[in-house]
């Protein structure tokens, strides 16, 4: 599918990887609805990107919010060809500590946003895209999800995060199979450490240390490198039902 003149919802589009995808897609001639709970970041980027971007305040776990983002796409641009799911949260909490036990509400919240939220967007956007005319490429649309290498190499303190990203990887193939008849592809990207506000929560020396552990190139990923992979996935029809790591060959150790 070509990006030119297509419309995408980008969840988490107000920051980090989602913002980079929005920039890349708009530069390629697409329109984007930035669907994020971060009103400040989302509206600022929408006004920076101009007429082919708008902001829709959206908690991915809330079906009314997702429906409103879909309505925004149709009202502003008259079409919707997919969603790039970048909304997500990361927590670090050990299963048990010397005097602590993992808060179950925290575990549940991470699963809700990263897994249920991702699926909520897919199910509602897919339903809306069923009415799309079939493109020359025989496609109706595409979903790109964001997992993490924590799905495979979860570290200490990442039980909730790794479980959530493992679920995103695991649901990629069955959803791709569900939507194949509709001409809709589903692909997941599993990034290694990337230089975004989520990573910036960690102390600088930790960021430097993580970057230096990447075999090559020995640094954190730049969000535009993630965005260029997302663009390629849209444009390359044979990629479907798969999870692609983008990680400079890093395999995370226990901590």
Residues near ligand NAD (CB under 6 A) are: 11-12, 14-18, 36-38, 41, 58-61, 86-90, 113, 117, 146, 148, 191, 193-194, 196-199
Residues forming beta bridges with residue 82, ordered by sequence position: 8, 142
- The question of whether 161 is a catalytic residue gets the answer yes
The residue length of the chain stands at 255
For ligand NAD, the closer of residues 36 and 153 by Cβ is 36
For ligand NAD, the closer of residues 189 and 234 by Cβ is 189
- Cα separation, 164 vs 65, whole angstroms: 22
Q: Which residues of 186-217 are buried (b: 16+ CB within 10 A; e: fewer)?
A: bbbbbbbbbbbebbeeeeeeebeebbeebeee
For ligand NAD, the closer of residues 102 and 195 by Cβ is 195
For ligand NAD, the closer of residues 5 and 103 by Cβ is 103
- From 55, 77, 107, 161, active-site residue: 161
- Cα separation, 41 vs 14, whole angstroms: 5
- Cα separation, 1 vs 198, whole angstroms: 30
Contact by Cβ (8 Å): 248, 192: yes
For ligand NAD, the closer of residues 139 and 220 by Cβ is 220
Considering the complex, what minimum distance in angstroms separates the CB of residue 161 from ligand NAD?
Answer: 7
- Cα separation, 161 vs 111, whole angstroms: 8
For ligand NAD, the closer of residues 225 and 235 by Cβ is 225
Considering the complex, what minimum distance in angstroms separates the CB of residue 139 from ligand NAD?
Answer: 25
Considering the complex, what minimum distance in angstroms separates the CB of residue 21 from ligand NAD?
Answer: 9
- Which H or E element spans position 205? helix 204-212
Contact by Cβ (8 Å): 73, 52: no
Helix (H, G, I), strand (E, B) or coil at 160: helix
Considering the complex, what minimum distance in angstroms separates the CB of residue 133 from ligand NAD?
Answer: 29
Considering the complex, what minimum distance in angstroms separates the CB of residue 10 from ligand NAD?
Answer: 10
Half-sphere exposure of 110 (CA within 13 A, CB side): 22
Angle, helices 117-129 vs 63-77, to 10°: value is 40
Considering the complex, what minimum distance in angstroms separates the CB of residue 85 from ligand NAD?
Answer: 8
Contact by Cβ (8 Å): 124, 67: yes
Catalytic site positions: 161
């Amino acid at each position: 599918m070509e990006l030119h003149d297509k419309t995408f919802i980008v969840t988490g589009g107000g920051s980090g990887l989602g913002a980079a995808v929005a920039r890349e897609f708009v530069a390629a001639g697409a329109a984007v609805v930035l669907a994020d709970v971060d009103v400040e970041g989302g509206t600022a980027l929408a006004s920076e990107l101009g007429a082919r971007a708008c902001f829709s305040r959206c908690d991915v776990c809330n079906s009314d919010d997702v429906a409103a983002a879909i309505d925004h796409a149709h009202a502003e641009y008259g079409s919707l060809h997919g969603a790039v799911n970048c909304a997500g949260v990361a927590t670090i909490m050990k299963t048990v500590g010397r005097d602590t036990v993992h808060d179950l509400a925290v575990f549940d919240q991470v699963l809700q946003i990263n897994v249920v939220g991702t699926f909520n967007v897919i199910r509602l956007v897919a339903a809306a895209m069923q009415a799309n005319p079939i493109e020359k490429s025989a496609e109706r649309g595409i979903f790109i999800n964001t997992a993490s290498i924590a799905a495979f190499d979860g570290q200490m303190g990442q039980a909730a995060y790794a479980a959530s990203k493992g679920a995103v990887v695991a649901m990629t193939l069955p959803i791709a199979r569900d939507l194949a008849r509709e001409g809709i592809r589903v692909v997941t990207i599993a990034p290694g450490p990337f230089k975004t506000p989520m990573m910036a929560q960690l102390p600088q020396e930790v960021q430097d240390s993580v970057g230096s552990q990447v075999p090559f190139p020995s640094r954190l990923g730049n969000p535009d490198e993630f965005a260029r992979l997302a663009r390629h996935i849209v444009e390359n029809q044979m990629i479907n039902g798969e999870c692609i790591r983008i990680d400079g060959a890093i395999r995370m150790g226990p901590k």
